[in-house]
Amino acid sequence: MTASTAKRKPASSPPPSGQQDQAQAQRKAYDRRKTRAKAKSEALRQQEAAQVQALPVLRPYAAGIDVGSRSHWVCVGFSTEAASGLIQEFPAHTDGLKAIAAFLREHQVNTIALESTGIYGIALYELLQAEGLEVLLVDPSYSHPLRGRPKTDRRDCQWIYRLHSVGLLAAAFRPDEQTCRLRASLRQRANLIRSASRHVQHLQKALEQMHLKLTEILSDMTGVTGRSILRAILRGTRAPEK
């Protein structure tokens, strides 16, 4: 078939002007609804944040700390100025934790709300407790349902401080040092048992793939008889009577 006789697909025609106008009207209506919803949410946030700020301060020497993997944000007072020095970021290594303790002592802080994020706040919690400070390990679910909570780390620690200063945060359960050690040992023991059971399953699978039906004869491959048979196989014994 030559180029002159080849059939060409008709070029797609642009959509009619009526459809374009309808699409633009829908986009504008969507943008208006989104703007109204955002304004309503912001007004509600400002209203509830103002209600929190209007509450009487019960802990004047409080602090709020937002814990992170690389750094911790600490707030020891409410201020709208960015360079007020009441909000600072500290690295999460040992020197940074010591600097946090010195910063809290400098501002005469005696009670701290520490929003826990996984295991990142354990070292800071123990250090601050060793300094003789009252530390409340706060579950993030306690502060998340409250509207008005900003999403940046800097404002987050300020919001934690504000909630703690007016007495709206409750401490989560944290056992004493001996209980923590016992719990860590029991958890490690449970992990080792689960890991051992998985290795036994791998052993049974390998024996089945080698067509050794020892699992059909022995109820426990890790017993005395099972380990003796496995050692004999590893030594090169292939005769069943041996």
What pLDDT score does 144 carry? 60
Helix orientation angle between 94-106 and 122-130, rounded to the nearest 10 degrees = 50
15 pLDDT higher than 70:
no
Torsion angle (degrees, nearest 10) of CA 125, 128, 133, 134: -10
Residue 201 has pLDDT above 80, yes or no: yes
DSSP symbols for 101-122:
HHHHHHTT--EEEEE--TTTTH
Tokens, residue 202? 């791998």
Cα(140)–Cα(121) distance, integer angstroms: 12
Q: With 90 as the cut, is the pLDDT of residue 112 above it?
A: yes
Q: Model confidence over 74-107: pLDDT tens digits?
A: 999 876 565 568 899 999 999 999 999 999 999 9
The bridge status of strand 62-66 relative to strand 111-115 is parallel
128-182 pLDDT, tens digit each:
989 999 999 887 776 665 555 556 778 888 888 988 988 888 887 777 878 888 9
Q: Which of 164, 163, 171, 167 is nearest to 147 (CA)?
A: 163
- Tell me what pLDDT residue 11 has: 53
Considering the entire predicted model, what is its pTM? 0.59
Give φ, ψ of 115 to 5 degrees.
Answer: -80, 115
How far apart are the C-alpha atoms of 38 and 25, rounded to whole Å? 20
The 10s digit of each residue's pLDDT in 39-56 is 887 776 666 666 666 678
Q: What is the pLDDT of residue 106?
A: 93
Average pLDDT, the chain: 81
Cα angle 133, 172, 85; round to 5? 45
